[in-house]
């Protein structure tokens, strides 16, 4: 049963990988080809010549990395405030923050687009990054990991002369590294695959990330599904590399959340 579930999960990626090295003859054979007899590895070179794919890849990396960096800065800081600090309206603000999780992005997209247009950030990196500088999910996740940290440790740091921010930097952050790695991984992968917002905000080919760039490529070369699959494989590789580098912290964060 487990093996069947694993095969069902892996098969789409396996077929995409197979499709990425198929020739045009394999595509129009009439029946799906799982293992090409003569893999055409040159597809991974051709795709860079058929479209400005290097630019697409650079845009995706800049957008996903910028949003991830902002999440790692703001989400734990706000989560720390909700978890350990006392201020007027704390509960109301926390509930209001969580309530945004119940609003579909389609509802928020129109006012967000109008605000971005009024600030002159359409078709710019700022317009693609700044509207997603933080997330309610990331704030909630950080708060939940910070709550179990003993307040006595933070009180001791304050008695030694550490302020609120210094306590956060030297006491809280070192203890939530696994959670930060988990947040960074999830944010990077999600933003790397984001399609709708770039489709709405971007109006030139030079600013397109891979997701919308593949759509443009597929419209222009509609019969070359092998090259489209090649782009999908390239889109997958950064997420795989980030997971390989952060898997130790990711697994540890899952274990810690299970213990809690």
Reading the block at residue 24, the tokens are 């045009």
Tell me if 59 sits within 8 A of 208, measured CB to CB.
yes
Residue 255 lies in a domain: yes
Nearest to 155 by CA among 172, 139, 143: 172
Q: Which residue range(s) make up the domain with 199? A: 57-259
DSSP-derived letter for residue 205 is G
Determine the pLDDT at residue 117.
94
Q: 48 in a domain, yes or no? A: no
Q: Whole-structure pTM over 0.75, yes or no?
A: yes
Count of helices and strands (H, E) across the chain: 14, 0
Domain assignment present for residue 7? The answer is: no
51 occurs within a structural domain = no
Whether 217 is covered by a domain: the verdict is yes
pLDDT of residue 8: 86
Work out the angle at residue 186's Cα, subtended by the Cα atoms of residues 73 and 76, and round it to the nearest 5 degrees: 25
CATH code of the domain containing 107: 1.10.3720.10
In a domain, 220, yes or no: yes
Query: Is the residue at 178 inside a domain?
Result: yes
pLDDT tens-digit profile, the chain (260 residues) = 778 888 888 888 888 889 888 887 887 777 788 888 888 888 888 888 888 888 998 999 999 999 999 999 999 999 999 999 889 999 999 999 999 888 888 888 999 999 999 999 999 999 999 999 999 999 999 999 999 888 888 888 888 888 888 888 988 998 898 889 889 988 998 999 899 999 999 999 899 998 888 876 665 555 677 888 888 888 888 878 877 777 776 666 555 554 44
- Which tokens is 84 given? 């350990």
Q: How many residues does the chain have?
A: 260
Residue 212, in any domain of the structure: yes
Q: Structural domain tally of the chain?
A: 1
Query: How far apart (Å, rounded) are the C-alpha atoms in residues 70 and 250?
Result: 19
Render pLDDT for 125-155 as a digit per residue (tens, 0 to 9): 999 999 999 999 999 999 999 998 888 888 8
């Amino acid at each position: 049963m487990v093996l069947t579930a694993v095969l069902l999960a892996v098969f789409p990626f396996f077929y995409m990988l197979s499709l990425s090295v198929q020739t045009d003859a394999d595509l129009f054979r009439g029946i799906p080809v799982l293992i090409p007899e003569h893999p055409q590895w040159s597809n991974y070179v051709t795709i860079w010549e058929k479209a400005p794919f290097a630019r697409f890849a650079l845009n995706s990396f800049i957008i996903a990395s910028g949003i991830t960096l902002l999440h790692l800065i703001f989400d734990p800081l706000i989560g720390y405030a909700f978890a350990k600090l006392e201020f007027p309206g704390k509960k109301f603000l926390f509930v209001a923050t969580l309530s945004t999780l119940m609003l579909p992005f389609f509802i928020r997209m129109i006012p967000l687009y109008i605000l971005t247009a009024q600030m002159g950030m359409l078709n710019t990196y700022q317009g693609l990054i700044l509207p997603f500088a933080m997330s309610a999910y990331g704030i909630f996740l950080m708060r939940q990991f910070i709550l179990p940290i003993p307040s006595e440790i933070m009180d001791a740091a304050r008695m030694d002369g550490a302020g609120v921010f210094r306590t956060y930097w030297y006491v809280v952050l070192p203890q939530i590294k696994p959670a930060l790695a988990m947040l960074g991984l999830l944010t990077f992968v999600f933003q790397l695959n984001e399609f709708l917002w770039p489709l709405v905000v971007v109006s030139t080919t030079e600013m397109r990330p891979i997701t919308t760039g593949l759509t443009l490529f597929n419209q222009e070369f509609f019969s070359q599904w092998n090259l489209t699959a090649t782009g999908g494989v390239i889109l997958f590789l950064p997420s795989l590399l980030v997971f390989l580098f952060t898997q130790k912290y990711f697994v540890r964060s899952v274990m810690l959340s299970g213990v809690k």
